[in-house]
Amino acid sequence: RKAVKNQVDGKGYSLVEVLSPCPSGWKMDPVDSLKWIEQEMTKVFPLGVYRDRSKEIEPHIHEKHHASEEEVVESLGLKHLQDKAFPQSNPPEKYKNPEIKAAGFGGQGILLLGLGIAQTGMLEGYNVSWIPSYGPEMRGGTANCHVHVSEEPVGSPLVDDPTVLIAMNRPSLEKFEKDVQPGGLIVYDSSLIDIKPSRTDIETMAIPATKMADELGNTRVANMIVLGAYLGYTHTLNLETVFETLKHIISRKRLIDINKQAVEKGYQFGENLQKA
């Protein structure tokens, strides 16, 4: 309790050592591990040894600082974009404020796809969030990310029940289809997914993204085909703003052009599908 109070009072950190058993590491059963602590560990680490200097330490009070909008922009490295005007899109009501989950195999550029949507939304003045998923699922399973693009402040960056699911492989479609909100949209790569979504209370858009990317000469831009198709279908964000985004999220500048072509090709596909 005193250690926690020291922290609250601004007196710095307090070190509290706890003798705790580890039956697995010690290859003992729980009862024997407790006996070993009492009989052996306490000889080296005796209990009840205190060094309390809290009365001698003056508290350090940090001044609260509320960053201005200009400071936030500068800290994010976006000052050079302040003078550029990126008009907001005007999508149909049902496509506004999307809560997106993008998923696929590790290596398909899923995280970059989500980052592209979030960055574009930020340039257009929306409140955005982007959270990538790291962990064992990325090793051959489904890698995914959560994206919000909102006119209102984002309460939580997590997307448990997406209004939009972007699925780049079959395991992702099978795993996350059930989570999509009724009336939501599923965008999926029909080049790699040989089944259709089973639900009838949602909108679906099949796009042969990998095949279309192959026609451009690089299947790795299938993620940008899908990004473009989603935006062409929904008009959630503007195409010109995406082109600006590519300059900032594509690290190899020689690849910007083919990614731009992929976005354009996907956008045209999505727009034509919406008009059909």
What was the pLDDT predicted at 68?
Answer: 85
**Which residues touch 56 (CB under 8 Å, ≥6 apart)?**
none
CA distances from 29 to 32, 39, 235 (A): 6, 15, 62
**pLDDT tens-digit series, residues 49-81:** 888 888 888 888 778 888 887 888 788 777 766
What was the pLDDT predicted at 61?
Answer: 78
Q: How far apart are CA 128 and CA 119, in angstroms?
A: 8
Name the maximum alpha-carbon separation found in the chain.
80
pTM: 0.74
DSSP H stretches of helix in the chain? 2-8, 23-26, 30-36, 42-44, 69-75, 110-123, 170-176, 209-216, 222-234, 239-249, 256-275
What CATH number has the domain spanning 91-275?
3.40.920.10
Q: Where are the domains of the chain?
A: 1-64, 91-275
> What is the pLDDT of the chain when averaged over all its residues?
91
Phi then psi dihedrals of residue 12, to 5 deg? 90, -170
